[in-house]
């Protein structure tokens, strides 16, 4: 004969796991809003191009987050080139020297594509992004801060995907 507590225990456990899963999936899937692209120019932006650029930009944030959290420069190769990559590599090297790691957890993106160059070799977007940054110093979690700012990103096409060439935070 099961006690009342035993009967209640299983559904509560399932509910807790379900909530945890829901919460975790919420963390992994930041909300991504994309503004209207009708006025992007001077080159006409095809739907397919827009989708691929947004997909690659989103993946670039994941790459950045993993690279800075694990202090691994190789994780930037897939998504970054040029100045953006060089600056991120320098940050990771500085983190390694100081013994710190930073974890960027995106909460939401509000992306607006603003410029598609006439020859199709660069595309610029503005992203109002909300994220948490957690600082870990010698394996010890030190501080977590919620931030909201605007990023200016310029992506350029490479062999198989668009990569971030300029990545810069700016006041809203």
Partner 1 sequence: MKRGFLLVTLALLTTGALRLAANEVGMMHPPKTIVAGTGFSIPTSGDGEAALYIVGPAQVIRRNIKLGETVTFAASDLVNAGHYSVSIVSGSFSQSADMDVLSAPQAASISLLAKPSRLPVDRPQGISGVAYVFDTFRNLILQNVPVEFQLSVLSGAPSTQTVETKNGVAWIRMNSGAKAGIAQLQAHVESVSEKRVLQEVPSEPCRLKMTAQGAGEKIKLQTDPLRDCSGNAVPDGTVVTFTETYPEGIATVDVPLKRGIAQTEMPAHPGAVISVATGVVLGNEIHWGGAR
Q: Which positions lie near partner 1, rule CB under 8 A?
A: 42, 64, 68, 83, 87-88, 90-91, 94-95, 98, 100, 102, 104, 114-115, 117-119, 121-122, 124, 126, 133, 135, 137, 142-143, 145, 147, 149, 152, 154, 166-171
Residue 2 phi, psi dihedral angles, 5° rounding: -80, 140
Smaller CB distance to partner 1: residue 19 or 96?
Answer: 96
Smaller CB distance to partner 1: residue 20 or 77?
Answer: 77
Query: Do residues 139 and 88 lie in contact, with contact meaning Cβ atoms separated by under 8 Å?
Result: no
Q: How far apart are CB 169 and partner 1 at their closest, in Å?
A: 3
Q: How far apart are CB 24 and partner 1 at their closest, in Å?
A: 23
What is the C-alpha to C-alpha distance for residues 32 and 111, in angstroms, rounded to an integer?
Answer: 7
Smaller CB distance to partner 1: residue 32 or 152?
Answer: 152
Query: Do residues 69 and 133 lie in contact, with contact meaning Cβ atoms separated by under 8 Å?
Result: no
Sheet with 162-170, strands from edge to edge, namely 31-34, 100-116, 123-137, 140-157, 162-170
């Amino acid at each position: 004969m099961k006690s009342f507590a035993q009967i209640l225990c299983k559904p509560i456990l399932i509910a807790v796991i379900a909530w945890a899963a829901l919460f975790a999936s919420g963390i992994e899937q930041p909300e991504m809003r994309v503004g209207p692209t009708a006025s992007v120019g001077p080159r006409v932006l095809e739907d397919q191009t827009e989708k691929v650029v947004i997909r690659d930009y989103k993946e670039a944030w994941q790459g950045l987050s993993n690279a800075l959290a694990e202090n691994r420069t190789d994780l930037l190769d897939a998504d970054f080139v040029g100045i953006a990559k060089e600056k991120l590599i320098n940050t990771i090297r500085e983190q390694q020297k100081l013994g710190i790691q930073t974890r960027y957890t995106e909460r939401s993106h509000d992306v607006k594509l603003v410029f598609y160059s006439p020859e199709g070799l660069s595309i610029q977007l503005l992203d109002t992004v909300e994220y948490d940054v957690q600082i870990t110093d010698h394996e010890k979690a030190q501080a977590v801060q919620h931030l909201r700012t605007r990023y200016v990103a310029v992506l350029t096409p490479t062999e198989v995907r668009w990569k971030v060439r300029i990545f810069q935070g700016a006041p809203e």
